[in-house]
Homo-oligomer: A and B are copies of this chain.
Amino acid sequence: MEIPRQQFHSKLQVIKEAIDECDFIAIDTELSGLHRPGGSKRLDTLENRYIEYKEATERFMIIQFGMCTFTWDEPGGRYIAKPFNFYIFPTSMTGKIQPNRIFMTQAQAFDFLAKQSFDFNKWVYQGIPYLTVTEEKEYISEAVKKVNDHLPDIRIDEKERKFVEDAKSRIRKWKEDPKKTDDTDGVNINTRNAYQRRLIYQEVRKSFPDLTAEGRAGFIRIMKFTEEQRKKRVREQHNRIKKDCEDAVGFRKVIDMISASRKVVVGHNMLLDICHVIAQFIQPLPETVHEFKKLSHQVFPLMIDTKYLCAASTELRAVIGSGTALENLRFETNQEKFKNPYVDMSIEFPRYLHDKEHEAGYDAYVTGLVLLKLHSHLEIQANPPPPETPEEEKQEEEVESEKDEVPEEKRKLRGNTGGWNISDDEEGEDANWLASDDEDDQINQDDDEDIYNYGSTRYPLTDHETRKPTSVIAGFVNKVVMVRTAFEYFDFANPERIDPTLETFYINSASSNDIALLEKEILALVSEYGKCIIDTVSNGNYDGRCKHSQTKNDREAINPTKRDQEYSN
């Protein structure tokens, strides 16, 4: 479902329902320019890489955001996918309070998008604007200050003195006897510019504290309000600020809803996506990688990176091989062994019945689809189903075996592989039936008898009660791919583990103060043996130590260097 700016507010409820009902959410972004990690560097430190990503978020922006919710459909024995595609453009057309944003565009990134038939007119004409959390707070504080008339005084320019005096004299005259003037309810002071308007507000506040000045088109109207009227006016003004601000917050509402759901967020090679999402919709990225991890983890408590999952899981690598590009994963998970679970596109979301690669909404859909297949495969491997039994015995036996293995709560969630879970369903349908009161609904309910059950199995990613990742996936959660560093992954929740394929050794420093000196000495010592990086392991088991590492197998290197086995372990 494509959500243009013009329909954003009316579709918010549909988006919210999809998030509320779903099992998990897959996301993807398209950017106005792409950071290329490392460049010519073979290895980079964690801090350096983070700084590069942070800088990328300050330059480029998300111009399309894809989100796809996946919801288990018990009667259908399948998942239902709801893909959403949002163009993001910081337009000022929807209101007065959009900051004047300037962002960078990389011509090659647009060329890439053009190859995928990206619609740049939809982007500018229908893209949804946004305010970050920080910007929203600033806006409200400024607006409230203005409404409460807490602006600092400004001096009156010589050439405006007559204008101000004339205005004051007119106000005084009206105040003394409104009936003597041609407008008994108030007096209008014509203004030519913002400076004159501000002067009038200022003079009314100082010289006529019992009067109220209200800006109109081309003039300011000065009136006498009762205390009741004045309070009402302030209330109205505050409500208008709230409303204006809500409109301006725009797309960030979707990010807020995803975050508030605390549900698993799935991406593919998602570190850069997360950096951009945080920087564009929450706040500028913090100075240190440590703060960034903390912040991201607060926003998205459970993340799964399909690229990391495939690269890190021995079981999956054995089936899929080393190609972890999204298109490849989609191709590989078409194999028979990945047939569970069955995933259908919601009938209200027909946009992706045909492939539309590299549209964010479509890529989010594929990412979630791939995750379901991979996760199911891991679950089946961990708990192989019992050997095939004749069809008539199957249903009964499976119910039996489930009873033995899983507690009551989990069994409900898992659904079953063959036939309907009749008792649960009928209860649900009955409740629905009683609640519905129009004929259409009744007809739909009658159709229930014809629902086809695809008989696939639901393997939840998290425990229904504790909301913790299940054992099969737990080791992969909050870890994302990060190439060309000394680490196996980037970890949002814990210290990273050093890549065991690197030639690495650890150095304990006597005190943390001499690390800079120590680094210099190490570099002097090892530089003749080739390129190396020194990374400070700031937390976890290796706190305070330095690390020297070098790739063992760096086929793409352009400037290879001499290696020495003596200096590695």
Contacts and interface: CB of A to CB of B under 8 A. Distances in A.
Interface string A400-420: 000000000000000000000
Interface residues of A, number: 48
> Chain A contact residues: over half helix, strand or loop, or mixed?
loop
Interface in A43-100: 59, 89-93, 98, 100
Interface string A553-569: 00111111111000000
Nearest to A195: B558
Nearest to A60: B102
A158 interface: yes
A43 to B, nearest CB: 15
A318 interface: no
A512 interface: no
22 contacts: A59-B102, A89-B107, A89-B110, A90-B107, A91-B111, A91-B114, A92-B107, A101-B106, A102-B104, A102-B105, A103-B104, A111-B124, A114-B124, A114-B125, A120-B124, A154-B559, A157-B562, A158-B563, A160-B560, A192-B555, A194-B558, A195-B558
Interface in A514-569: 555-563
Closest 7 interchain pairs by CB? Answer: A157-B560, A120-B120, A90-B107, A101-B107, A195-B558, A102-B106, A120-B121
B119 A108 contact: no
Contact of A157 (B92, B107, B561): B561
A155 B100 CA distance: 50
Contacts of A108: 92, 100
A188 interface: no
Copies of this chain present in the complex amount to: 2
A137 to B, nearest CB: 21
Interface in A95-145: 98, 100-108, 110-111, 113-114, 118-121, 123-125
Nearest to A102: B106
Contacts of A101: 106-107
A7 to B, nearest CB: 17
A159 B561 CA distance: 9
Given A120-B123, A123-B120, A157-B560, A114 B102 contact: no
